[in-house]
């Protein structure tokens, strides 16, 4: 399943960079925008425009997604990935709808798998908290629980700071983590019934 999601992302990346109009069609626009369409809650998470954006998201998908797919199997992993990705979009769009962290720019879309990838990170941190991974920059080992805490903290700080020039949907990162936490707690409760 990780391999399939990776291939879809690369395919969409190629399409978007050949046919520029595809970017606006697949991106997630704010809920108040006339350009918003419900299917964008799904398509945005497979859409990337720059090489750096897709590169780092796909590394996260492969590293964290592989842990979870091996642990859960394909079906539960895919469900988790889609719920955290769509959940990230709903979280981002819902909070921006009420403009809680400043004005929302109606024609500025959101793209990328980051919300789902942060969800995968949160899932790994909850299930394998003391497992160490190596960062790319700097190349040091860190336990998954600390990595999730640091990146989640950065997202919270950046959301509160609300610097629109950084061009990052920090709320979507938080949304992916929140939905991941909820999904795992629900599944843990269900699994203990048997």
pLDDT tens, position by position, 142-172: 999 999 999 999 999 988 887 766 778 899 9
Give mean pLDDT, residues 177-182.
Answer: 98
The residue among 83 and 162 whose pLDDT is bigger is 83
Residue 116's pLDDT is what?
98
User: What per-residue confidence (pLDDT) applies to 194?
Assistant: 45
Average pLDDT over residues 61-86: 97
Pick from 84, 70, 63, 78: which is nearest to 135 by CA?
63
Which domain covers residue 11, as residue numbers?
2-191
**pTM assigned to the model:** 0.93
Asked whether residue 83 carries a pLDDT value surpassing 60, the answer given is yes
C-alpha–C-alpha distance, residues 72 and 57, integer Å: 21
DSSP string, the chain: -HHHHHHHHHHHHHHHHH-THHHHHHSBPPTTSTT--TTHHHHGGG---SHHHHHHHHHHHHHHHHHHHHHH-HHHHHHHHHHHHHHHHHHHHHHHHTTTTS---TT--B-SSHHHHHHHHHHHHHHSTT-EEE-SSS--EEEHHHHHHHHHHHHHHHHHHT-GGG---HHHHHHHHHHHHHHHHHHHHHHTT-
What's the whole-number mean pLDDT along residues 71-94?
96
| Calpha distance 45→133 (Å, rounded) | 24
Token pair 């700080």 is found at 157
CATH assignment of the domain containing 177: 1.20.1540.10
Number of domains in the chain: 1
The mean pLDDT value for 28-56 works out to 95
Neighbours of 120 (CB within 10 A): 29
């Amino acid at each position: 399943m990780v391999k399939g999601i990776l291939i879809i992302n690369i395919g969409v990346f190629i399409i978007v960079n050949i046919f520029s109009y595809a970017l606006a069609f697949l991106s997630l626009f704010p809920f108040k925008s006339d350009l918003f369409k419900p299917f964008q809650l799904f398509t945005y998470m497979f859409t990337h425009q720059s090489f750096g954006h897709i590169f780092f998201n796909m590394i996260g998908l492969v590293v964290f997604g592989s842990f979870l797919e091996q642990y859960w199997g394909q079906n539960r992993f895919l469900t988790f990935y889609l719920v955290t990705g769509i959940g990230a979009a709903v979280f981002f769009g819902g909070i921006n709808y009420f403009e809680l962290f400043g004005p929302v720019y109606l024609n500025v879309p959101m793209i990328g798998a980051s919300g789902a990838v942060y969800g995968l990170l949160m899932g790994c941190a909850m299930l394998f908290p003391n497992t160490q991974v190596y960062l790319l920059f700097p190349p040091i080992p860190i336990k998954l629980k600390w990595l999730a805490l640091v990146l989640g903290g950065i997202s919270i700080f950046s959301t509160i700071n609300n610097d629109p020039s950084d061009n990052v949907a920090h709320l979507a990162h938080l949304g992916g983590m929140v939905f991941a936490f909820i999904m795992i707690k629900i599944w843990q409760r269900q699994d203990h019934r048997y």
